[in-house]
Amino acid sequence: MTLSQDRSPSLTTRIQQSVQVDLAPHQELEIPTECPIRFAVSLKGLTTWKVGGLAQYYLEPRTLAETQAGLAWARQNDLPITIIGAGSNLLISDRGLVGLVICTRHLRHVSTQFDNETHSVSADAGKMVASLAWQAARRGWGGMEWAAGIPGTLGGAVVMNAGAHGHSTQEILVSTDVLNLDGSIETLTNQDLDYSYRTSNLQGDARIVLSAKFELQAAGDAEEIKARTFRDLEKRHSKQPYDRPSCGSVFRNPSPQYAAVLIEGLGLKGHRIGDAEVSTLHANFIINRQDATAKDIRELIFYVQSQVKSKHAIELETEVKMLGEF
């Protein structure tokens, strides 16, 4: 089977000018017919920062069988595997990613199911967190009001323990089904994930989250819960720059301090490198003004870290995951 190649107008230019790692396809590799793998696909439009190079091989599976076939093919050919969801909290190198990139945003494993007896809900990893939060609110179920502004998928939320307004995924997760590299499916409990602030033991792991089950609060006044959800969303939008591409919060809060307060106190709001800028609205956001590169953003992250360390002797850790060679 021949490889499908992304033939956007600027593809050749990007390969020649921005990709220095070897992303050429291995012509001897045979692509399984049941697995729609493509070659040289731009990842720029698949991240919320709108930066990044090309995937050497790219798979956007819609079924479990396609995902299993892709994993088996990559393993057989000794290719690195990278898993992405909605592309939030990711900084992908301008030089691209070697191996197979699997995007799970359209992967469907289970349909969204609300259990009225246990007040639990199960949903696909590719479902957007905000969408599920609003579904729960309309049913009068509490516990996800904070999640209405989260820009990622449930799979990403499970992996990174996404949270907002003092709440996190850890509080409501019951279990998650993951696909192992050997194609087997395993159910992990909340305790199995070793959750801590904005992380779990699935980070840096090639296991793929297929679905998750959450336990919410007993049904209440739907109008009241929708109002709380809307208030949390408005609060988030009023303080964060949603008019420009970003990844959300860049740095973890070094308890008991807040990263944004430290950065703003150093007068770094509005500081730019290339077309990357520390947001003037929220100092823990770095925005892509228009034509920023991953290199611009990475250099700005390092600059902010160096300034905070120099002035406060605090090493800011990033929430964002950096992928590829910089």
Element (H, E) at 5: strand 4-5
Helix (H), strand (E), coil (C) string for 254-283: CCCCCHHHHHHHCCCCCCEECCEEECCCCC
Beta partners for 74?
A: none
Distance CA 52, CA 91 (A): 7
Is residue 319 part of the annotated active site? The answer reads: yes
Q: Which of 249, 277, 279, 298 is catalytic?
A: 249
The number of angstroms, rounded, from the C-alpha of 198 to the middle of its chain's C-alpha atoms is 12
Closest residue by Cα to residue 49 from 91, 79, 95, 14: 91
Residue 182 makes CB contacts below 8 A (sequence gap 6+) with 75
Distance CA 4, CA 8 (A): 12
Q: Which of 14, 95, 105, 198 is catalytic?
A: 198
Half-sphere exposure of 204 (CA within 13 A, CB side): 5
Is residue 264 part of the annotated active site? The answer reads: no
Distance CA 5, CA 15 (A): 12
Residue 144 makes CB contacts below 8 A (sequence gap 6+) with 132, 133, 136, 137, 172, 214, 216, 229
The CA-based diameter of the chain, rounded to the nearest angstrom, is 61
Distance CA 201, CA 53 (A): 27
Is residue 279 part of the annotated active site? The answer reads: no
Catalytic residues: 198, 249, 319
